[in-house]
Structure 1
Amino acid sequence: MRVQKTENLNVSGFDPMPSPLEIHRAVPISDQGSATVLAGREALQAILDRRDPRIFVVVGPCSIHDPVAGLDYARRLKVLADAVSDRMVLVMRVYFQKPRTTTGWKGYINDPNLNDTFSIAEGMEKARKFLLEVTELGLPTATEALDSIAPQYLWDLICWTAIGARTSESQTHREMSSGLSTPVGFKNGTDGSVDTAINAILSAAQPHSFLGINARGLTSVVRTRGNRYGHLVLRGGGNRPNYDTVSVAMAEQALSKAGLPASIVIDCSHANSFKQPELQPLVMHDCVNQISGGNRSIVGLMVESFIEAGQQAIPADLDQLRYGCSVTDACVDWATTERMIRDAHAALPDPVLSRRMI
């Protein structure tokens, strides 16, 4: 009797992928890059531990699609980061993978040529090269973790990790986060509830064992120690924002009830600004006012920002792409970004001093 095939019925092929070790050898971390990553992680951990009274701001493009424009932005951000470093730690948002509700461009790793050729090996190496260039400028980096494979390729160059609203409930992402070397911000659910994110923080703090890969690309049982630097990111949801004082107070209560530190990052974009980038400055201003008024749970902010304002579709002729303009979510422009950061910096001296005294 002929045995019928039962697996891979909807798979059209398996393309070999270089191992993490091979990608690391092709783009090795430098002494400067390593120093930036370690210093960035230590600064973020100190803020979360309340050993550092500053706030951190994860700011940058919704996604990286053009490394030239991305590095242009990074150089500008480094100058600004140095200017406000007494009260703020600026971390560049360097997102290479984009979750999709249905379909769409999945990011620079999956499709670095923006033409549906899905040259993932090329994208992974280029993403690593870009991260190295940013860290060699002295800028800490932040990104979103979408799968359990990419960390072995890139996370030695990452300082802060986000777990998105759609994946905070995922056991795979909670297990992975328990082994990451960075602080991890878990976003509240798309319905606005913080329960999923709080459960994720609790889970990621514990040791786990799960299937993954090692540096040589071999399937392995990954055993983790647990990550005590998980924290909550409020991004709005359920057709309403949740950065207001009442929402923040309720989040503080939920964290306390779970036995967790009241460490909250406010995402000024997404549902908190109704996906209208021009509202992001208002959200940041409100959050800075809360800190000025004595709030001690807001430890960080997130801003979607690029060189040019708005968003553009990916054209068939890539020469028609507007330089420094997002191809995913709309962003505020550089002038607005600089004004937001400098205004926040000017408003922070008193609350920073009060946090230090406490």
Structure 2
Amino acid sequence: MSRLTIRQPDDWHLHLRDGSMLRSVLPSTSETFARAIVMPNLVPPVVTAKDAAAYKDRILAAIPEEHGFTPLMTLYLTEDTDADDLAHAYTSGLVTAVKLYPAGATTNSNSGVRNIENVIPVLERMAEIGMPLLVHGEVTTHEVDIFDREAVFIDTILDPLRRRIPSLRVVMEHITTKQGVDYAKSGDDNLAATITTHHLILNRNHLLVGGIRPDYYCLPIVKSEDHRLALREAATSGSPKFFLGTDSAPHTEANKICACGCAGIFTAINTMSCLAHVFAEEGALDKLEAFTSLNGPAFYGMAPNENTIDLVKSDDPIKFPRQIWSEDGPVTVFDPGFELFWKVEK
């Protein structure tokens, strides 16, 4: 197969940042994707409906005129979140979901939840109105190894929470382990999971063997090969439980490629080319549309996009830039470590 036509994809987990960085990175998404769930971990975070409305206005102002793109806004859950404000933001259509960051789990997460008991009333209200909870699923206690934090979170936080509030709709964001895959499969229709592009490609050898690769550092951190293979099986299975959330996360090169680099990989610009490569390797190009364009809308109760894109396989490798530029400084583009031959045509 050298040409594949699919519904226009959506990204169900995206970091756009703000200001000049927002203006620089947004076109890499809006050129290809019709919609994206926009993460709220700005500084300060997007906590209230007022915050979300203002951030949405800044995003809309940055979309190139020739691009049709809809940002799907989220709120950042804190232990002081106002349940009434949250419910109004959702029922009015302003926001699509709420994001749970365990405090200290990842970039700009210090305002996150330290004790899940303190947000139970808000979560119960969300369950009543059908509002999805998007979970960064890692514990942050120092005694738990960083490679085990997702599995421990599932056992000690997520599963008890779902048993306590079974009607709560939950997306396990950017799962990275076989345990995450298995738990998502075991759930009812109220549970789904996103998988990133880079976790389908990288394992911890890529990060650590032959020298540390800060451009491959992300949170949740990449895991061992058996976990990567479990993610590939899930993504390419066609199961409605799994859909694309790139977690594309730009940082300036000065903050990324350094001795204490920030977590996050900027994949928006070449995600579809990378995914076509992965799905072709797995003999599952016929399942790519479900993963990128159908399963996510179905979980969120939205119609799939009417427009289509073509993925065309070329004879010569496609060249992506090593960096894109922003006023804040250059942003490193994800290098999958192999040549890419699939390009997007609209």
TM over 0.5: no
TM-score (norm 2): 0.42
Structure label with greater radius of gyration: 1
Question: Structure 1 length normalisation: TM-score?
Answer: 0.41
